[in-house]
Amino acid sequence: MYGIFMESWVIFKQYGGNGFMLVLFAAALIYLLIAEKDYRKKMVIGIAPLIVLLGFFVPFTRIAYVAILDDGADTYYRILWLLPMGVCIAYAGCKLFASHRRIGTVVVSALIILCGSIVYKNQYMQRAENLYHIPQVAIDVCDVISPKEGEPRVRAVFPEELVHFVRQYDTNIMMPYGRDIIAWKYYNAVHEAYENVETINAEELLAATRETKCRYIVMPKGRSIDVDLEEMGLTLIAEVDAYNIYEDPKMVN
């Protein structure tokens, strides 16, 4: 039992990152348990999170979770998603500020100065190219193959760097695989033939795309392939930035 408890403790520490949010969360819970007079609010954002935490660390909870779910050992951390950390911290901060403005001002200012950062300086932040806040090239590619009003939806193969944005922009374009394949590495014949090889075997790729009814193949320029897709009977319908868009006549309704 002790070993199971320690596994849960390790998961909890990893979930908390550098630990700063966990410290704030603990302080917020303690403050709300003492200062909140409305029993309903205290129950929802004070007592209930403690019950979830207690359940998380109880070994029997982990044993039951792993026994019920096939991937329970890998997803046990998701119980921590039930903790309303952001809500508790924000509410506690607002309550402290409202009840003790001077103390609240000092505490909040100190937290911002000592622990805050300008998110726009993050290396992963970049200026939005359009109102959709997705790469413009993804929009341009989708506009080429998107069905006209009244036409049935189409299916297309996209390189991994565009997969995340297609459905955000146009739900009329379907794909043989999505973000789940990229993240969890599930087997998918199209992904296997398109992404998981150094040089694409055109015959194997077309066999997989036709099996999944893909009408279009979006191919990065310069991608290594043993036989040009036009030689395989596909039509190059457009060149958008660094991508060639091919249409498979056999998949046209």
Q: What pLDDT, in 10s, does the model give residues 208-249?
A: 999 999 999 999 999 999 999 999 999 999 999 999 999 999
Q: Across the chain, where does the E strand assignment appear?
A: 154-157, 173-174, 216-220, 235-240, 243-247
Query: Under 8 Å CB-to-CB from 98, ≥6 apart: which residues?
Result: 104
32, 91 contact by CB (below 8 A)? yes
The model carries a pTM of 0.58
238, 212 contact by CB (below 8 A)? no
Q: How far apart are CA 252 and CA 155, in angstroms?
A: 11
Q: Could you report the per-residue pLDDT of 18-73, keeping only the tens digit for each?
A: 777 888 888 889 999 888 888 888 888 889 998 999 998 988 888 888 888 777 67
Query: Under 8 Å CB-to-CB from 199, ≥6 apart: which residues?
Result: 224, 225, 226
Q: How far apart are CA 119 and CA 123, in angstroms?
A: 9
Q: Is 170 helix (H, G, I), strand (E, B) or coil?
A: coil
Q: Is the pLDDT of residue 2 over 90?
A: no
Q: List the chain domain ranges.
A: 2-116, 136-251
